[in-house]
Amino acid sequence: MPLRRQLGLLSTVAVLVGSTIGSGIFRSPAGIAQKLPGPLPLILVWVTGGCLALCGALTLAEIAGAMPDTGGIYVFLREAWGRLPAFLFGWAELAIIRAAALGAISTTFAEYLLRVLGHNPAVAPYDAYVHYIAAVAIALTATFNYVGLKWGSLVQNVTTVAKYGGLLFIVLLALALGLPHTGGHFSPAFPPGSISVSAFGLALVSILWAYDGWEDVTFVAGEVDNPRRNLPRGIIIGTLAVIFIYALANLAYLAVLPVDQIASSPLVAADVAERVVGPVGVVFVAVTVMLSAFGTLNGSILTAPRIFFAMADDGLFVRKVASVHPRFGTPYVSIALCAMLGIIFVLVRDFQQLADAFVIAIVPFLALGVGAVFVMRRRPSYDPPFRVPGYPVVPALFILATVYLLVNSVAAPASRWATVAVLGGIALGIPVYYATVGRRGSVTRAPVEP
C-alpha cells in the first residue's frame, strides 16, 4: 500500500525549516566561540557552513526532483552506488543517527521546559527529570505522526512559524535595542590566535549540527504533491531561509555580547534577550527554544521513519516495517520503531554525546548522496526538473568539505576516538549486510509516479 501525496509547497518548506532550526542556533554558538574566539572567524565559520549546506541542498534538489521516492538519500544511494551503501545508511540511521538526533533534540526541549517552569535542569532532581520529559516528548510527537501525516504536518507548520518568528523577533530586539548601546563587538575582527585550520574544522562540525535538516525533507518525497515542482523549490527556499536567519542571529548576538561572553554562555540567546529587555526576555527565549526543539523533534519523527519504510519495502529490512496503517495511511510500524530507539538513547546518554555522534555518522552519507549526481547524470533516463547551478563545482565543494571534516575529526586528539568509534559502528553493518539481506538478489522497483 503506497503512502499518500499530501504535502504541498508550503508544508515542504515547513518540514525543511522546522527540521533544521532546533537547538543548534541557540546552544552551538558558545562551543564555536570557544574554538574560534574572534568576531570575524565566528561569522566566517557560520557563513561557510551555510554555503556548504546550500551546495548540498542545491544538488539534492536536482536528484530529489528526478527521483521523488520515499526514503530520499537512501534511494539516491541505492540507485547510484548499490544496495550495500544504501543498507549502511539505513543501518547508521537505525543504530546511531536517528536515535541520537531524537535524543539530543528532545533533551533540549526538556531542559527549556523545566526552565520555563522555574527549575534548573542542571541540578538534582531535575537533571534526572530531563531524560523522562524528553522520552515523553518523543512519544507524543510519534503519536501525532502515527495518526496521520496531516496531524504531523499541522504541528510542523505551526511550530515552524512560531520558532522562525520568535528567532526573528529576538534578532530585531538585539539589533534595534542592543546595538545602539554597545556599538557591537566586531573589533578586533581577528584577535591573535583566534583561528586555526584544526579549530575551524571542529567548529564546522558543530555548525553542521545546527544546519542539519535540509536533507530530511527528501525522506518524505513520496508524500509530496507535484514533487517535480515542489521538492526542488521547497528544498532551495527552505535552505535559504535558514541561512538568512542564522546569519542575522549571529550578528545580533555579537551586537549585544562580546565573543568571550558568547563563549561562556551555553544559552546565548537568553543572555542576549535578558541584556536587552530584562528577565521577561529570558522567558520569551525559553519558550521560543522549547517550541523550536519540539518542532524539530516532530520533523525528525515525521521524516526519518520513511527511511526504514523504504528499506523494508526493498527487502533490506524486516518486511513488517513497510506496513501502512489501513486507517491513517502512515508507516506506523516504522514510526513506532524510530520512537522506541530515540527513547532508549535519551534515557542513557547526554546532549553532547548524542549531538557529536549524530554529526560524524551522517556526514559520509551526505557526501555519497550528493555524489550520486555524478553517477545519475551519465544515465540517459535521468530527467531532473531542476539542474544544480555551477555543476560540477558545487557538488564537488560539498564532498571535499565533508572529507576535510572527517579527516580533521580523526586527526584532532579531542575528537579522534569518538569519531573512530562512530565510523567503526557504521562499518559493523558490512558483515551484518552479508550475513542477512546481502545474500538476496537485487530488487526491481516500479517507476515512481509524480
Q: Which residue bears the cell 541557540?
A: 26
Summarize pLDDT for 179-226 with one digit per residue, the tens. Answer: 887 877 888 888 887 788 888 888 887 787 788 888 889 999 998 999
SS3 371: helix
Averaged confidence pLDDT in the chain: 86
CB 68 within 8 A of CB 235: no
Cell digits for 423? Answer: 565510523
Q: Pick 9-438's CATH classification: 1.10.1740.10, 3.40.50.2300, 2.40.33.20, 1.20.1740.10.
A: 1.20.1740.10
Cβ proximity of 254 and 174 under 8 Å = no
Q: What pTM was computed for the model?
A: 0.85
- CA dist., res. 240 & res. 281, Å (int): 27
224 - beta bridge partners? 7
* CA–CA distance, 46 with 155 (Å, rounded to integer): 28
Contact 296, 55 (CB under 8 A): no
Task: Tell me whether the omega of the peptide bond preceding residue 413 falls within 30 degrees of 0, making it cis.
Answer: no
Q: What is the pLDDT of residue 98?
A: 81
Q: What is the pLDDT of residue 443?
A: 46
Q: Which three cell numbers stand for residue 421?
A: 568509534
**Collapsed DSSP state (helix, strand, coil) of residue 12:** helix
> For the chain, which ranges sit under pLDDT 70?
1-2, 349-358, 439-450
What pLDDT, on a 0 to 100 scale, did the predictor assign at position 227?
93
Q: Quick one: pLDDT at residue 354?
A: 58
For 241-256, the pLDDT digits (tens) are 999 999 999 999 999 9
